[in-house]
Chain A
Amino acid sequence: MSDVTPEELKKRVEVERIKDASNYLRGTLVKSLNDPLTGALADSDTQLSKFHGIYQQDDRDLRDERRRQKLEPHYQFMARIRVPGGVCTPDQWLQVDRIANTWCNRTIRLTTRQAYQFHGIIKRDLKRTIAEVNAALLDTIAACGDVNRNVMCNVNPEQSRLHEEVFEYTRRISEHLTPRTTAYHEIWLDKELVATSEKKDEEPIYGKHYLPRKFKTAVAIPPSNDVDIYANDLGFIAIAENGRLTGFNITVGGGMGMTHGEPETYPRLADVIGYCPKEKTLQVAEEIVKIQRDFGDRTNRKHARFKYTIDDRGVEWFKFELNKRLGWVMEAPRPFTFEDSGDRYGWVEGINDTWHFTIFIQNGRVLDTDDYPMMTGLREIAKVHAGDFRLTPNQNLIIGRVSSKQKPVIDALLKKYKLSGSIHQSGLRLNSMACVAFPTCALAMAESERYLPSLLTKIEAIMKEAGLEHDPIVIRMTGCPNGCARPFLGEIAFVGKGPGKYNLYLGAGFHGERLNKMYRENIGEEQILAELTPIIHRYAKEREKGEKFGDFVVRTGYVKAVLAGKEFHI
């Protein structure tokens, strides 16, 4: 992709100019890291660090206190570790655990995109932390930023053979879409890959300006839609015949983020545009990314996601453009069925005499508390486990591929450290997710991870009263409308508006096939409970056989069904 003219660059948003001047994402990061007077990076470098998987944050609980103390904010960094498909080795788990306890805030955050997040790294430890992540054969490059992020894949323990093949494609997609710049190795690993010689950085897919906005890719294996395929910019739905992969249905244009009070921004579910044989997977992925690279709006970050590129021009335009670039015409999508988007907790049998145990991890936060030594337990398991660890798209963890011989050993450890007890929760809690929000996320308007557990306890009481203790309802909370916990796919969802205040959304489809809709705006806990109580009781009494909560509230008219992103606010 050729350089843009100065006039064109001038029209674009600031971040585009920062990318332009960054020499393939270097910026002045090295200088920023070495500045001993501040715990922060230079402003422009905070944009570039994201491409390296690093977010500058600060402890917002301390912000006012430190301002009065004439100290700068308590700057710290979040580093996101890419784990394509969420699968890693026990040894990698041990390294992640060690790094979290050495350089971070002694917790590991499992994300909704199957990545690890470290929080609380201070600037002078950052380089060493990233180096240690890489030494564990993991990395953080492109975990954030205007590039393709961590590629998700269904964890599917039941169909292990198919999963192995699909997972291999996931890995290849991830690799193919990873930026080629050597800045990452140069800055964090002291590897001078681009010497003073004539060899220069190149980005054959992205070009020097990368994408206009973040880009998310997921791979689903029906009937599970745990990856929330429709919430992704680009999706691959595995199509199998006789248990063997033949190809993928392709989805485009999904995305969660919006801005309060700006109806021209909205969440959108992806369209299924066709089927591609598995051999063409990488070509399709690359061309779709390139279309967004060339057509995405670089003059407005709130209108830069792929979903707007498609909505502005129409899906038919997109298919035409894609086929033109592919040089062949994509087939019509093949039939498939999704049943749910949740995890299967507890022991599940796979193939070849292997077993998988899914642990419920509230909001994905791995840590030790006085009465629940979760982090220690997982460490002890990692020391003896020969299989793998799988991060689920619902922020949970699977101890995967346990041989039947090892099963009693793992089972004993799960019991010893109270991990097996984690799954004995209400159906509501087991299907809940919250984003990080306070105190570290700069975007949060309201609490999320620190608040949802206590709110759930109160809703659980209502559910119990209604006799719905074990019924699964997808319930999600985020501190802002950017959508990290995919709130617009919750049957019940809370999106932060201000301190203690949330918009209440109802009516998404149970397996992620329909967006929800705002039911009440800007309400606090008391009103949340007052609004939900009669609906839950009525659901208990009036639901049809097998009817999900999200479908029920639509049928009974609490909210209208949202059939397209553009209808979200109407």
Chain B
Amino acid sequence: MQKQLPDRTQTPFNDEQYRNFQQLATTAAPEQLAWLAGFLTAWSGSAAALPVGGGGASDITILVGSQTGNGEKLAEQTLKLAASRGLRASVKKMGDYKLPQLKTEKNLLVIVSTHGEGDPPDNTKELHGFLFSKRAPALKDTHYAVLGLGDSSYEFFCKMGQDFDRRLEELGATRMVPRVDCDVDYEGPAEAWMDAVLAKLATRVEAAPVASGMAFSAAPAASTYSRKHPFPAVVLENLCLNGRGSAKETRHVELSLEGSGLTYEPGDALGIYPTNAPDVVESLLVALRFAGGEPVTVEGRETSIYDALFRQMEATIITRPVLQKYAALARNPKLDELLDEQHKKALTDYLHGRELIDMVTDFPAELSPQAFVDCLRKLPPRLYSIASSLKQHPDEVHLTVATVRYNSHGRDRKGVCSTFLSDRIGEYTTVPVYVDHNSNFKLPADPSRPVIMVGPGTGIAPFRAFVEEREAVGATGKNWLFFGDQHFMTDFLYQAEWLKYLKSGVLTRMNVAFSRDQQEKVYVQQRMLEHGADLYAWLQDGAHFYVCGDEKRMAHDVHNALLAIVAKEGGLGAEQAEEYVKNLQKEKRYQRDVY
């Protein structure tokens, strides 16, 4: 690695320290540097809870609420940037935050994500409720800034960020910089927000005499691969898990991480950069009367319109910003009317089940390839819960992916990444990937704790990783798995493995619900209720309760089933049951990975 070391004046070191630093940095082997980087990250991470830069109280609180861990990563990044500028900051998770402390905050940076239908992340509901209650304190002395995370393909894009921003203002706090709403391609906008807010803070807060330059962010990461720089993973296995005759298509994909240095833990996700389906791109080109070879510029680089649509831009999902940009060029009265605030419902109805191809055929416009590309958002990576344990599959990562195919408004649709995996890659081709760590979905640190897992459909994925991990580490805690799908005969994902684990005792018990094997549909929550007494006893024994899978239809029902069980078996009223479950969440004994 022939990299230039920073000049001493750019570092926080004195002469002697600089010499030591120089010697170590230039003589250490790459693996030693990698170890050191990992060590320093952990070192700085453990220090992060403490005020940075001297013994005084921190001046800046970075309050983060996120489900997938992206928010936490951005909070850490903000913290390090602040430290490099000599600003004393600390990161607090909304779930752990002491509510009375809010009125003492001087400088409050809020990073919050939005889920499903404008819902707060699981561990932030309490703070969110408090903030919007009558008990919320006046915040006249607080300066704040909000970074919202979301996905513009959802109707209530970044609603949580907007809520916090508005409410803090209502409570009298002063907004330092305008809120930034990040889409799935969040890195650029988030960094811009950090720069703006830290610049503002530097004028308000006295900097500690510690650092200049990029002390921490300059440290090389353990793996050189990341979201920005994905690893080309070789496909080792790619097969359909559903038996013949199934209505479902669930794929088991095994990828090689060999040589990447990437590691993960059960509960983490894998990000994949797909390409769009060629037929989707072709039909867009035809509808727009583009030949395909026309040059366009994307992020400063020239490419063809075909390639931009194939590789770089989202070519299916319509988001509001896309529609707005397109409308500005299309000058179509009907489209303008649809976008009018008064027709919100009509717009939602229109967007349901429609894609870019519908937009360009329903509202034809004369526009250049470049103008069209400029309307679009970047093709974001897709995240999948990892279905394997590294301890059982060294250098491999396994995924469980439901292939999405349906017909709407007269067109056959297909999920971008799921059909990329099922139709457009073969064995021994490569897929660009990165590991997305999720600290909010983790096995108990204590391996003797019992674990209850509810994972119907592809929700089973992380639990395959969990059970593999529990076996690999010889965890003594009991394991209880709930699974459901359509048909026993064809859709019992990883059945042979579960039977093996039940036989060996790694899996203590398993309950299944196959919805379409009988007249009445049966789901996992019914199985939970049938075994409510046992389930409650497990919770009383300290069990951790995990849910993964569909949010709208499943996780909601499972949550209600959990409340019902706690109320019934614990002899608790509705409110006390709520309290019991909230407490589980607080203790991180109730974790969800839902989508």
Q: Nearest chain-B residue to A73 (Cβ)?
A: B496
Contact A68 B239 (CB under 8 A): yes
Query: What A residues does B243 contact at CB under 8 A?
Result: 62, 65-66, 69, 71, 74
Question: Taking the complex as formed, is B510 at the interface, i.e. its CB lies under 8 A from any CB of chain A?
Answer: yes
Which of A62, A69, A124 contacts B241, CB < 8 Å? A69
Contact B510 A37 (CB under 8 A): yes
A458 to B510 alpha-carbon distance, docked (Å): 54
Query: What B residues does A257 contact at CB under 8 A?
Result: none
Contact B239 A69 (CB under 8 A): yes
For residue A15, give the distance in angstroms from its CB to the closest CB of chain B.
22
24 pairs from A and B in contact (CB 8 Å cutoff): A36-B512, A37-B495, A37-B498, A37-B499, A37-B512, A38-B499, A39-B488, A62-B244, A65-B244, A67-B496, A68-B239, A69-B241, A69-B242, A69-B243, A69-B252, A70-B252, A70-B493, A71-B243, A71-B495, A71-B496, A72-B495, A72-B499, A74-B243, A124-B488
Contact A122 B489 (CB under 8 A): yes
Query: What A residues does B240 contact at CB under 8 A?
Result: 69
Within 485-506 of B, Cβ neighbours of A (below 8 Å) are at 488-490, 492-499, 502
Contact A70 B512 (CB under 8 A): no
A66 to B488 alpha-carbon distance, docked (Å): 13
Question: Taking the complex as formed, is B258 at the interface, i.e. its CB lies under 8 A from any CB of chain A?
Answer: no
Interface size on A, residues (CB 8 A): 16
For residue A482, give the distance in angstroms from its CB to the closest CB of chain B.
29
A39 to B487 alpha-carbon distance, docked (Å): 12
Question: Taking the complex as formed, is B340 at the interface, i.e. its CB lies under 8 A from any CB of chain A?
Answer: no
Interface size on B, residues (CB 8 A): 22
Query: What A residues does B510 contact at CB under 8 A?
Result: 37
Which of B244, B488, B496, B517 contacts A70, CB < 8 Å? B496
Query: What A residues does B495 contact at CB under 8 A?
Result: 37, 70-72
Within 477-529 of B, Cβ neighbours of A (below 8 Å) are at 488-490, 492-499, 502, 510, 512, 517
For residue B398, give the distance in angstroms from its CB to the closest CB of chain A.
11
Query: What B residues does A67 contact at CB under 8 A?
Result: 496
Q: Nearest chain-B residue to A123 (Cβ)?
A: B488
A66 to B495 alpha-carbon distance, docked (Å): 10
Within 126-147 of B, Cβ neighbours of A (below 8 Å) are at none
A287 to B16 alpha-carbon distance, docked (Å): 106
For residue B515, give the distance in angstroms from its CB to the closest CB of chain A.
13
Contact A39 B242 (CB under 8 A): no
| A interface residues with partner B (beta carbon < 8 Å) | 36-39, 62, 65-72, 74, 122, 124
A74 to B243 alpha-carbon distance, docked (Å): 9
Q: Which of A70, A72, A74 has the most CB of B within 10 A?
A: A70
For residue B479, give the distance in angstroms from its CB to the closest CB of chain A.
14
A431 to B253 alpha-carbon distance, docked (Å): 52
A39-B488, A65-B243, A69-B241 known, 9 other contacts, Cβ within 8 Å: A39-B489, A69-B239, A69-B252, A70-B252, A70-B494, A71-B243, A71-B495, A71-B496, A124-B488
For residue B372, give the distance in angstroms from its CB to the closest CB of chain A.
42
Q: Nearest chain-A residue to B498 (Cβ)?
A: A37
A122 to B498 alpha-carbon distance, docked (Å): 20
A211 to B494 alpha-carbon distance, docked (Å): 41
Q: Given A37-B512, A124-B517, does the pair A74, B489 have CB atoms closer than 8 Å?
A: yes
A494 to B244 alpha-carbon distance, docked (Å): 33
Q: Nearest chain-A residue to B250 (Cβ)?
A: A69
- The 4 A-B pairs with the shortest beta carbon distances in the complex, nearest first, are A70-B496, A70-B494, A71-B495, A72-B496
Query: What A residues does B244 contact at CB under 8 A?
Result: 62, 65
For residue A431, give the distance in angstroms from its CB to the closest CB of chain B.
37
A69 to B493 alpha-carbon distance, docked (Å): 8
Q: Given A62-B243, A69-B240, A69-B242, does the pair A37, B502 have CB atoms closer than 8 Å?
A: yes
Query: What A residues does B494 contact at CB under 8 A?
Result: 70
Query: What B residues does A38 contact at CB under 8 A?
Result: 499
A62 to B244 alpha-carbon distance, docked (Å): 9
Q: Nearest chain-A residue to B493 (Cβ)?
A: A70
For residue A148, give the distance in angstroms from its CB to the closest CB of chain B.
35
Q: Which of A37, A65, A67 has the most CB of B within 10 A?
A: A37
For residue B380, give the distance in angstroms from its CB to the closest CB of chain A.
30
Query: What A residues does B493 contact at CB under 8 A?
Result: 70
Query: What A residues does B498 contact at CB under 8 A?
Result: 37
For residue A313, give the distance in angstroms from its CB to the closest CB of chain B.
44
For residue A41, give the distance in angstroms from its CB to the closest CB of chain B.
13
A38 to B514 alpha-carbon distance, docked (Å): 13
A72 to B489 alpha-carbon distance, docked (Å): 9
A493 to B398 alpha-carbon distance, docked (Å): 51
For residue A279, give the distance in angstroms from its CB to the closest CB of chain B.
53
A122 to B518 alpha-carbon distance, docked (Å): 13
Query: What A residues does B497 contact at CB under 8 A?
Result: 70
A312 to B244 alpha-carbon distance, docked (Å): 50
Within 442-499 of B, Cβ neighbours of A (below 8 Å) are at 488-490, 492-499
A91 to B440 alpha-carbon distance, docked (Å): 64
A541 to B496 alpha-carbon distance, docked (Å): 60
Q: Nearest chain-B residue to A67 (Cβ)?
A: B496
For residue A76, give the distance in angstroms from its CB to the closest CB of chain B.
9
Q: Nearest chain-B residue to A122 (Cβ)?
A: B489
For residue B407, give the distance in angstroms from its CB to the closest CB of chain A.
26
A445 to B176 alpha-carbon distance, docked (Å): 80
Query: What B residues does A71 contact at CB under 8 A?
Result: 241, 243, 490, 492, 495-496
A66 to B245 alpha-carbon distance, docked (Å): 12
Within 182-231 of B, Cβ neighbours of A (below 8 Å) are at none
A36 to B492 alpha-carbon distance, docked (Å): 11
